Amino acid sequence: MGRAPSPAAALLLLLLLRAERLRGAELTFELPDSARQCFHEEVEQGVRLSLDYQVITGGHYDVDCYMEDPLGNIIYRETKKQYDSFTYRTEVKGVYQFCFSNEFSTFSHKTVYFDFQVGDEPPILPDMGNKVTALTQMESACVTIHEALKTVIDSQTHYRLREAQDRARAEDLNSRVSYWSIGETIALFVVSFSQVLLLKSFFTEKRPAHRAVHS
Amino acid sequence: MRLGGNYRTQMWDKQKEAFLPSTPGLGMHVEVKDPDGKVVLSRQYGSEGRFTFTSHTPGEHQICLHSNSTRMALFAGGKLRVHLDIQVGEHANNYPEIAAKDKLTELQLRARQLLDQVEQIQKEQDYQRYREERFRLTSESTNQRVLWWSIAQTVILIVTGIWQMRHLKSFFEAKKLV
């Protein structure tokens, strides 16, 4: 998990994720209110890319997201989504851009997680991919186990994010309960005290009029 | 859990309208904070750099990169392209290096990768267990607070009501209205 720095007034930071020797990147970053953060990736043609994102903390836990190809066409656009998953097979080679926007929110800054995968996973040794013979049983068993463990790690990531989200809400609820109870105690004392004072003031004022009636 | 990151920066050249292949003289400061806010790593690197650290506390770590160059401030509308690559856990391992160091065959290397993955899963499970405990403590604390507050509120209400009546009664008695 990491946080990207917020752009300074004079600079525009374009974050580009390297996909040369690995399949993609997972990042958790902070998106300030009324801000947009874009990420760019250089992708070949005919490659499958996928984007998963989830809002972890902030406001109504929703964010806008869109993805553009190198020619400027929007290939994916969603507004106010909490989490989504999107895959696409590239048609053009070039720099693809995807952006998360929190421009609709005026005061809640959000923490967003995304997992961007490009292509297939490269083999762990460079010459493994150049096999001419079929895999042995041991090797294909290893491949199967590796894929299964990847699924486990992916679902663990989703659980971890869910837990972070729920914990943020629970801690927020806890602090809100504290503040509200303190506030209400104060309000109670203030109201009961001022009720008595007000009532006393009514009868203190009327007294001269009351005496005037009698005499 | 091990985390490795590497980055490369490119500055926008306004005359050529393109990004320069490399930016000499531009440094980036990398700062990593652990979940308690303590700084784990704080180092200055050149325009290209590689950093790693091992986390000792479970939780949310913060990784910040900011440029230290004063030249950038002079370019209005300047752009900086940062290539960032962060790998956590098993992905941070360099398998060709491990194979060379421990002299592993291909099959042994695959088995090593599986072992690393399983280790990562175990660590994640430990983390979830720790988190569940914290979450349960928070929820129970909220529950307690709501319970005690409701009781206290009722008591305060009754006591205030009694005080009000007695005070007003003595006030009216003093005023000879009752």
Contact B138 A149 (CB under 8 A): no
| Interchain contact B110–A (C-beta under 8 A) | yes
- Whether the per-residue pLDDT at B151 is higher than 90: the answer is yes
pLDDT, one tens digit per residue, over A17-63 is 543 334 678 888 999 888 889 998 888 888 888 899 999 888 788 89
pLDDT-derived band at B89, boundaries 50, 70, 90: confident
| Side chain identity, residue A114 | F
Instruction: State the ipTM, two decimals.
Output: 0.71
| Interchain contact B137–A (C-beta under 8 A) | no
Average pLDDT on B26-47 reads 84
Strand A11-17 and strand B78-88: pairing? parallel
**Taking a C-beta distance cutoff of 8 angstroms, is the pair A51, A83 a contact?**
no
| Partner B, chain A 65-104, Cβ-Cβ below 8 Å | none
Share of chain B above pLDDT 90, in %: 12
Instruction: Tell me how far apart the alpha carbons of residues B164 and B167 are, in angstroms, rounded to a whole number.
Output: 5
Beta strand ranges found along chain A (DSSP E)? 11-17, 24-31, 36-43, 48-57, 63-68, 74-81, 83-89, 94-101, 110-118
Q: Residue B65: closest CA among chain A residues belongs to which residue?
A: A5
pLDDT at residue B118, rounded to an integer: 94
| Partner A, chain B 9-38, Cβ-Cβ below 8 Å | none
pLDDT at residue B78, rounded to an integer: 66
Instruction: Tell me how far apart the alpha carbons of residues B122 and A152 are, in angstroms, rounded to a whole number.
Output: 11
pLDDT at residue A158, rounded to an integer: 87
pLDDT at residue A152, rounded to an integer: 93
CA atoms within 13 A on the CB side of A55: 23
Average pLDDT on B90-108 reads 83
Listed range (A2-16, A132-146, B48-62, B63-77) with the worst mean pLDDT? A2-16
Specify which of A82-86, B65-69, B73-77 reaches the highest per-range mean pLDDT.
A82-86
CA atoms within 13 A on the CB side of B110: 18
Instruction: Tell me how far apart the alpha carbons of residues A153 and B120 are, in angstroms, rounded to a whole number.
Output: 8
Low-confidence ranges of chain A (pLDDT < 70): 1-23, 127-132, 205-215
Beta strand ranges found along chain B (DSSP E)? 2-13, 18-19, 28-33, 39-45, 48-54, 62-67, 78-88
Strand A36-43 and strand A11-17: pairing? parallel
Residue B165 distance to chain A (closest CA, Å): 9
Tell me the whole-structure pTM to 2 decimals.
0.73
pLDDT, one tens digit per residue, over B11-26 is 776 676 677 766 666 7
- Whether the per-residue pLDDT at B162 is higher than 90: the answer is yes
Average pLDDT on B101-126 reads 90
Q: Which chain A residues have a beta carbon less than 8 Å from that of B62? A: 2-3
Contact B153 A184 (CB under 8 A): yes
